[in-house]
Structure 1
């Protein structure tokens, strides 16, 4: 279980994007605990809401059918977040970007079927541009 670095959502292969949606829905229902996502509970619920919006926007952009948002709507029923901001700002940092990039690199190297070279090249260009930015 992982929440990909928010900046990498547009570069995820379709299978990772769909898995992200399933993982989010699992969090909405069970508030899963897992070593890779426990940090989300240290942040306001609005962060997860904003993260979810980024995932949904990418799914819509790719014309991926979202069958239901019931679990999400129920989980966020008390959230009145009108401003979308960068979620998990202290966690989704350069180090986490690197961790996620190398995870995706391994998937590409191992031949993940829905990870075309063009998408990986875009991901790598994005990652290199972020890596070169001053900290």
Structure 2
């Protein structure tokens, strides 16, 4: 599981973009707080940051003509099997104007993501 660097979202092939949507859904749902070494950093922040990132994924999906369940566009939604986030969970240490959303998505991480895609035979 990986959250691709934000700058790559518009360049991701269909399979990786749709996979990113599924991973965001999983993390927002029952996966919230579950240990996974490549995405543990998201749990250091408000779930609202994951929502913001997920909205970038959804915006790119829409730009390409893909459809998604509009329920995911609500910041409190966590899927059918999870209770919604409470407002205090989303507000905690949340900033709406940080770019990138996650400070971990720096230039080094961008290069790591590009290399990871190259190893899968995907050149950008």
State the Cα deviation string for residues 65-85 of structure 1 (Å, max 9, x = none): 113535864245634789454
- The two structures have a TM-score, normalised by structure 1, of 0.69
Does 2:91 align with 1:88?
no
**Unaligned stretches of 5+ residues in structure 1:** 110-119, 124-135
1:45, CA displacement in angstroms? 2.3
- Show structure 1 runs of 4+ deviating over 3 A: 70-73, 79-85
CA distance in 1 between partners of 2:21 and 2:44 (Å): 21
**Unaligned stretches of 5+ residues in structure 2:** 79-84
CA distance in 2 between partners of 1:88 and 1:82 (Å): 10
Structure showing greater relative contact order (alpha-carbon pairs closer than 8 Å, 6 or more residues apart): 1
Residue 77 of structure 2, aligned match among 74, 86, 99:
74
Q: Could you say what the CA RMSD is over the residues aligned between the two structures, in angstroms? A: 2.4
1:56 alignment partner in structure 2: 58
2:47 alignment partner in structure 1: 45
CA distance in 1 between partners of 2:2 and 2:24 (Å): 9
Does 2:107 align with 1:105?
no
Question: Counting helix residues as a fraction of each chain, which structure ranks higher?
Answer: 1
1:46, CA displacement in angstroms? 2.5
1:13 alignment partner in structure 2: 13
- The two structures have a TM-score, normalised by structure 2, of 0.75
CA distance change for structure 1 residues 11 and 56 in 2, over 3 Å: closer, same or farther?
same
